[in-house]
Structure 1
Amino acid sequence: MGSKLSGKDLIKLGFPKNNSINIALGQIHRYRKKEKKSAILEEAKEVLLMPQKFKNHGTWGKVAEGLIAPVEIRKQELRNLRAPFSIFGENEIDASAKEQLYSALKLPIAVQGALMPDAHSGYGLPIGGVLATEKAVIPYGVGVDIGCRMSMSIFDLPESFMNGKVDKLQAILQNHTKFGMYETHDRKMDHELFSRSEFKEIPLVKSLLDKAYKQLGTSGGGNHFVEFGVAEILGEIPGVKLPPGKYLSVLSHSGSRGLGANIAKHYTYLATKQCPLPSKVQHLTWLDLDTHDGQEYWSAMNLAGDYAKACHDNIHYRIAKALGKQIVVTIENHHNFAWKELVNGKECIVHRKGATPASEDQLGIIPGSMTAPGFIVKGKGNSASLNSASHGAGRLFSRSTCKSSFTKSEMKRVLKEKNVHLVGGGIDEAPMAYKDIHKVMKLQDELVSVLGTFTPKIVRMA
């Protein structure tokens, strides 16, 4: 017997001469190639005899599915008519973002869509795009940074607490936050999340455990940030036991780091193999939630979302500890994720790619820029927007345009005018890169109510 397992070996075991052999070889090569051939063949024989037993198995689940009810792979065609949709702030949104939504609305799985006033073009769904689908999840509809989110912690400390402490607060951000692909904390912390079954049962996720452990409590590059600022509570906020006033707060924006990026890449690849689409919309390939890969992605996506929250919690814990103060309340929300929600009385998968969940009375954070205020909001449950709102001001200029159009001295002047101290950050994230957040908020009056604001004072970026 040769050392490398082949299709002939599986045929000898009794595997049918169909795609189940290719699936088995792919799974073995991806996850079990370092193991003995004899041991793998022994397992493969058991899968062949009792596929039901292996239906949700990390390595063999997809093979079992191929033996029981093979997934039909056929090129998908777009519908002629779009699913229903709404656009908020249409005049502020570029044509390419609208075209991306229009294409998504023609997918055979599309049920309803919406575009938020901060929208701009992206990969697959536009940033600021919301799409409800039937029994299917689109990895690029969620985005590469799964569970990218906002988190704001408020301290029972007045705005005046910051007086004369800029250097101290700046040092806390410098010493207790880490950004980008390679920075990690010297003192790592454990988390109950690392004991989750997904890290044991899904081979890809298992291989990412060490990376996730090292990156806990860190932030990505680009537009991700951690900042000290002033939260102004304008009235009563459900669950917030603080009277109206101005308080020291920490606001962070980041996602699921390498864990989420690798999950997105892997399952997008699998989706392209199972659901070929015309080149114009190839980034919108989906996974059927009734398949092994669809269920596995759903589990991995939810894990990545919980990991993103754990990262924010860890960041805020480190900062609160350095301050020597207790957090009174944290307001938070994902804005790159997919949820199972009712749409017109039917359960759908609602993708929000750069959109804030805004169901009735749901709290959320919509940031501005490093010099513009963010907003504490409460959702109004507008069904036309699929219970969603913008996730920020939205970009006015691309990163490359910023680099060629603005200078560091211009950026410094704007920061000085707004009395904002910046640690890190680049021209591509200049305040001028973003739309007017006040205009964006006016365009979504029917989506959210404003309960408070956040004004940045000390900003830390990559």
Structure 2
Amino acid sequence: MSQQINGNDLIALGYPENELIGIALKINRKRNGYNRTEMLAHYAKVWTNAAAYKDDKVFGKLAIAIIDGVGIKIPEDLIELKESAEAYTIYGGENIEEGARKQMNIAMALPVTVAGALMPDAHQGYGLPIGGVLATNNAIIPYGVGVDIGCRMALSVYDIPFEHFEMNRAFYKEVLMNYTRFGAGNGFLKHERAEHAVMESELFTTNKLIAGLKDKAWTQLGSSGGGNHFVEFGAIHFAMDDKVSGISKGTYLALLTHSGSRGFGATIADYYTRLAKELCKLPYHAKNLAYLDLDSEAGNDYWLAMNLAGDYASACHETIHQKITKALGAGILTKVENHHNFAWKETWNNREVVVHRKGATPAGKGVMGIIPGSMTAPGFLVRGKGNEASIQSASHGAGRQMSRTQAIKSLTNADLQSVLNDMGVTLIGAGLDEAPMAYKDIRAVMAAQEDLVDVVAEFQPKMVRMADDGSRED
């Protein structure tokens, strides 16, 4: 079985930084009997003498692509980037990986880019980095929005003393188990389906793609995905009276949820990303930032679909909170919801722009938001300051400091359980890829964005449910 080879290995052999690298790397992911050294030797020979390999079972497709000039011939409709990237503000730069900076630099060179900013929880993603904020001129970038369209946080603060939770943990665990569903493909049977106005959208009849997704969307309404999505109980502490929400100083029981538009949004994202790449021919290293003109039919269709996916994600949270609140017999003192992985039409520096926040929280003047830490680290209820340099945005969490693969390889269940015990957290589901140690220090992230938000209250997770099947549905 071949050992993994990356794009830099191929570039070192003389391969151009274009589609050929993608074709070549697909070969390396399959069983072919060669070790790493042998693979690199063959890659070198194919590049210098493709004709000799055109009938080869392993390298034939790559050889033919080289002969046909794939990635070498410049498309006539290629859209050129700006000669240099526009300047942008970076928050907490000392803790942001180079890959995220490089991706942001490419985004800032798009011909439609107006402004950008990088949040302190940023890390590398597809196209725009996670934690990237990008303002464009009348253009929408599907991968600038992200795969999990409208992913969001929702917080309900209950009129229940937190001590009640501590004395009745078994009851609260039963509520989480009975009224939540998690993981890729998981949802509800027809007789269990929730009713919600979002399912009555006319797009389910006028848009062929969306019409074909209605049954799946309805099945998953009120469920959560895998990966870092969660439903959790915790203690929220207001250090002083908050006149805006009307909540008095004290500690309350709260429910916090994080998830997005499930398979419905993921399918929309995949379809329009492929369409954008077909219509918007960017250089190879920028292709994941392919954009759609909002005045075009495709751009308008995606805009409508994106907004529906955002409404659907909100409906999922609303359904979860309604079910759990009813099961608790609780009253809600205040509820706050904010989303990321979305695009908004906003005014920035006196001009209308399309603001993409891929893993970034809206933080306009007075706008409320929730910035979580990890399953054991605190989250923060915040109020935006409307900072123009950040394009009125803040981080959407702590941000990863370990990849999922790295976390699984370097951490143990004993490590995870030790941290959970120390913090008094009950964990239901989840894997090592979501261990608290895989995330950045949330307090350092918050310190890096003091100019962007004011902290209103601090939330400490105490019982966390996540997907227990290892799924990572976006």
Give your verdict on TM over 0.5. Answer: yes
- 1:119 has 2:110 as partner: no
- Structure 2 partner of 1:26: none
1:204 aligned partner = 209
> Which residue number in structure 2 is paired with residue 218 of structure 1?
223
Q: Where do 1:70-85 residues align within 5 Å?
A: 74-85=77-88
1:394 aligns with 2:399: yes
Please point out which of 408, 421, 429 is paired with 1:424: 429
Give the drift of 1:185. Answer: 3.1
Aligned: 1:323 with 2:328: yes
- Secondary structure of the residue that 1:163 maps to in structure 2? helix
Match of 1:88 in 2: 91
Q: State how far apart, in whole Å, the 1-side matches of 2:261 and 2:306 are.
A: 10
| CA distance, structure 2, for counterparts of residue 294 and residue 260 of structure 1 | 16
Aligned mates of 1:81, 1:282 — CA distance in 2: 17
* 1:272 paired to 2:272: no
Q: Distance in 2 between matches of 1:232 and 1:338?
A: 32
Which amino acid in 2 is paired with 1:397? M
Could you say which residue in structure 1 is the equivalent of 2:299? 294
Distance 2:188 2:212 in 1: 21
Instruction: Assess if the C-alpha contact under 8 Å between 1:148 and 1:334 holds in 2.
Output: yes
- Tell me the CA shift for residue 113 of structure 1: 0.5
- Distance in 1 (CA, whole Å) between partners of 2:269 and 2:241 is 39
Query: Which position in structure 2 is the counterpart of 1:146?
Result: 149
- One-letter code aligned to 1:375: F
1:255 corresponds, among 240, 257, 260, to 260
Deviation readout 1:49-88 (Å, 9 max, x if unpaired): xxxxxxxxxxxxxxxxxxxxxxxx9211111122231000
Distance 2:382 2:282 in 1: 38
Write the distance in 1 (CA, Å) between the matches of 2:242 and 2:315.
24
Spell out, residue by residue over 1:165-193, the C-alpha distance to the aligned partner (whole angstroms, 9 max, x if none). 11111111111100112322342111111
**Is 1:406 the equivalent of 2:414?**
no
Query: Is the 2:384–2:452 Cα contact (8 Å) retained in structure 1?
Result: yes
**Equivalent of 1:306, from 308, 311, 315?**
311
The AA in structure 2 aligned to 1:308 is: A
Question: Is the Cα–Cα contact under 8 Å of residues 242 and 249 in structure 2 kept in the other structure?
Answer: no
User: Which residue does 2:354 correspond to in 1?
Assistant: 349
User: What is the percent sequence identity of the aligned residues?
Assistant: 52
TM-score by length of 2: 0.81
CA distance in 2: counterparts of 1:330 and 1:238, whole angstroms = 15
Whether 1:454 and 2:456 are equivalent positions in the alignment is no
Q: Is the 8 A contact 2:242 2:248 kept in 1?
A: no
2:299 and 2:240 mapped to 1: Cα distance? 43
Report the CA distance between 1:206 and its aligned residue.
0.9
- TM-score, length of structure 1 as denominator length: 0.83
1:236: Cα distance to partner? 4.0
Give the aligned partner of residue 59 of structure 1. none
Q: Secondary structure at the match of 1:384?
A: coil
- Separation in 2 of the partners of 1:156 and 1:100? 45
Q: Output the CA distance in 2 between the equivalents of 1:253 and 1:76.
A: 37
Give unmatched runs, 5+ long, in structure 1: 1-72
Aligned to 1:5: none
Is 1:435 matched with 2:440? yes
Alpha-carbon separation, structure 2, partners of 1:206 and 1:361: 38
Deviation, 1:328, is 2.5
Q: Aligned pair count?
A: 391
Structure-2 separation of matches of 1:281 and 1:179? 34
Task: Give the match for residue 166 of structure 2.
Answer: 163
8 Å CA contact retained: 1:179, 1:219: yes
Query: What is aligned with 1:130?
Result: 133
Deviating more after overlay: 187-196 vs 128-137: 187-196
SS in structure 2 at match of 1:435: coil
Residue 106 (str. 1) matches residue 109 (str. 2): yes
CA distance in 2 between partners of 1:231 and 1:205 (Å)? 39
How far apart, CA to CA, are the structure 1 residues paired with 2:293 and 2:350?
21
Q: Which moved further from structure 2: 73-82 or 89-98?
A: 73-82
Aligned partners of 1:376, 1:411: CA distance in 2, in Å? Answer: 26
| One of 379, 382, 388 as aligned partner of 1:383 | 388
Aligned-residue RMSD, C-alpha: 1.2
